[in-house]
Amino acid sequence: MRFQFTQEQQRFREEVSAFLRQEMSPEYETVYGTFSEEKYWFGRALARKLADRGWLTIGWPREYGGGGKTFLEQSILDEQIGYQRVQRVGITGLNFAGPAIIKFGTEEQKKRYLPPIARGDVEYCQGFTEPNAGSDLASLQMRAERDGDDYVLNGSKMFTSYYAHADYIYLLARTDPDAPKHRGISLFIVEMNAPGISTRPLPYINGEVAAQTFFDSVRIPRSSLVGEENQGWYHAMTTLDYERVGLERYARVRRTFDDFVNFCRDAASNGKSLGHSPLVRHKLAELKVGMEGWGLLCWKVAWMQSQGEVPNAEASIAFLYGTQQRLRFAQAAMEILGQRGTLTPESELAPIQGAIEGVSRESLHLHGAGTLEIHRNIIAQRGLGLPR
Ligand SMILES: Cc1cc2nc3c(=O)[nH]c(=O)nc-3n(C[C@H](O)[C@H](O)[C@H](O)COP(=O)(O)OP(=O)(O)OC[C@H]3O[C@@H](n4cnc5c(N)ncnc54)[C@H](O)[C@@H]3O)c2cc1C
């Protein structure tokens, strides 16, 4: 067992890290809950610079605009983006829509959709969840009815993140209402400016704004179908596990933890150094154990993908553990800081730019990419082999 990066991977990590540190400045850092249009467009420009260096899709095959490396290199990039607090852009295209097209798309779709993603030129959003289909996603009701050479979409999607800047929506819709529920679903890529699409903003606790997205007789060509008709559920599930690797999410929290440890080393509370307090030291030590564990679980999933394996229970283990670790960290940091922990970035007195207040709100997001209960169900069934 070789438990380390290759020299080349290590060099890549150092290069990316140095490049991002040089490009970033504090006003563009996305500390939790400090989103802005300016930061978003800064992130877009930076994505193009990463693309120019061949790094944005370094793990994709060369023939589709990628760097021909493995998922480990792609994960190293994600990790550095998170750690340097770069506003993340293009995730849905890079992590789900792109890989789904590579795996299931036609040659024409690959030529049309992949190069703009690899260049950092487009934004995608994801239309899976519906008002009556969240955890039980296969119950989704949005219809895609065949009409000549077109499909006509009717229905609505919930919690569409990144909708405001999206050029395309990657969505699931029901193409056969009479088939068993997992079998009558298809996967589509639809232009967000298609006539009949409208949105209603849904502001989140962490400052981000998603949307409910409505489809009113939206006509799309047959070429929008990705993969086989009625096989969309299986196509989408293959790529959904990629969402759960989460090295960027891990690294973003890890950066806040590292900053917090540095803060505790120097800061004083009621005249006493936090770093000398046995209570604080033990809490930080426990958190360090959890952070190391989370990182290792994420890297294990990334490594499996680099070997061509499709992680399943492993991805759920990493995701569940990470969501809980983020919550544990936020609660412990709040306890250590007391009322100061609730100060937002606008206050000069907020410790580490208000990141603790921000990560506390962020940590209440327990539902994205599958709720804790759903991940426990997956681990019980597929990880432990317990009956359905
Ligand atoms: C930050 C964020 C971003 C998101 N972005 C997107 C996006 O871009 N596109 C998109 O399509 N969706 C998105 N989602 C939606 C997300 O996928 C759903 O919230 C998730 O699938 C859960 O669905 P729900 O919210 O309808 O909750 P429900 O499924 O209604 O669940 C409610 C509660 O019941 C529990 N529960 C449900 N079923 C079971 C079960 N079988 N066993 C035990 N407990 C159960 C759940 O765990 C939960 O606690 C996002 C969510 C968040 C938080």
With H, G, I as helix, E, B as strand and everything else as coil, classify residue 369.
coil
User: What distance lies between CA 1 and its chain's CA centroid?
Assistant: 29
Q: Determine the structural domain holding residue 57 and report its residue range.
A: 7-89
- Residue 45 confidence class, pLDDT cut points 50, 70, 90: very high
Domain termination site, one of 204, 230, 256: 230
User: Quick one: 211 and 312 in the same domain?
Assistant: no
User: Quick one: 260 and 366 in the same domain?
Assistant: yes
Quote the pTM value. 0.94
* For ligand 1, mutation pick of 35, 94, 159, 327 (most atoms within 8 Å of CB): 159
User: Quick one: 137 and 167 in the same domain?
Assistant: yes
Domain termination site, one of 63, 89, 115: 89
> Residues with Cβ within 6 A of ligand 1?
125-129, 134-135, 157, 159-161, 210, 365, 367-368, 370-371, 373-374, 377
User: Quick one: 260 and 335 in the same domain?
Assistant: yes
Atom of ligand 1 at shortest range from CA of 162? 8
The CATH number linked to 148 is 2.40.110.10
User: Quick one: 224 and 265 in the same domain?
Assistant: no
Query: Ligand 1 centroid vs 371 CA: distance in angstroms?
Result: 6
Angle, alpha carbons 104-128-198 (nearest 5°): 115
Give me 83's structure tokens.
């750690």
Number of structural domains (the chain) is 3
* For ligand 1, mutation pick of 126, 132, 135, 199 (most atoms within 8 Å of CB): 135
User: Quick one: 200 and 330 in the same domain?
Assistant: no
User: Quick one: 264 and 366 in the same domain?
Assistant: yes
pLDDT above 70: residue 307 = yes
User: Quick one: 263 and 307 in the same domain?
Assistant: yes
Query: Ligand 1 centroid vs 142 CA: distance in angstroms?
Result: 17
Return all residues near 46 (Cβ < 8 A) that are at least 6 apart. Answer: 20, 23, 86
pLDDT above 80: residue 279 = yes
User: Quick one: 150 and 251 in the same domain?
Assistant: no
Query: Ligand 1 centroid vs 58 CA: distance in angstroms?
Result: 31
pLDDT of residue 17: 98
Atom of ligand 1 at shortest range from CA of 371? 47
Query: Comparing C-alpha atoms, which of 117, 231, 84 is closest to residue 109?
Result: 117
The CATH number linked to 367 is 1.20.140.10
- Residue 237 confidence class, pLDDT cut points 50, 70, 90: confident
Residue 107 belongs to a domain? no
User: Quick one: 266 and 352 in the same domain?
Assistant: yes
Whether 362 and 32 have beta carbons less than 8 Å apart is answered as yes
pLDDT of residue 367: 86
Domain termination site, one of 89, 114, 144: 89
Instruction: Tell me the catalytic residues.
Output: 243
Residue 108 belongs to a domain? no
Neighbours of 250 (CB within 10 A): 26
Residue 235 belongs to a domain? no
Give me 321's structure tokens.
């553990």
pLDDT of residue 86: 95
pLDDT tens digits for range 161-219: 999 999 999 999 999 999 999 999 999 999 999 999 999 999 998 888 999 999 999 99
User: Quick one: 352 and 266 in the same domain?
Assistant: yes
User: Quick one: 159 and 223 in the same domain?
Assistant: yes
pLDDT tens digits for range 238-263: 777 665 668 999 999 999 999 999 99
Residue 388 CA to residue 377 CA, distance in Å, equals 8
C-alpha dist (Å) from residue 120 to 48, 116, 367? 5, 6, 28
Query: Ligand 1 centroid vs 349 CA: distance in angstroms?
Result: 36
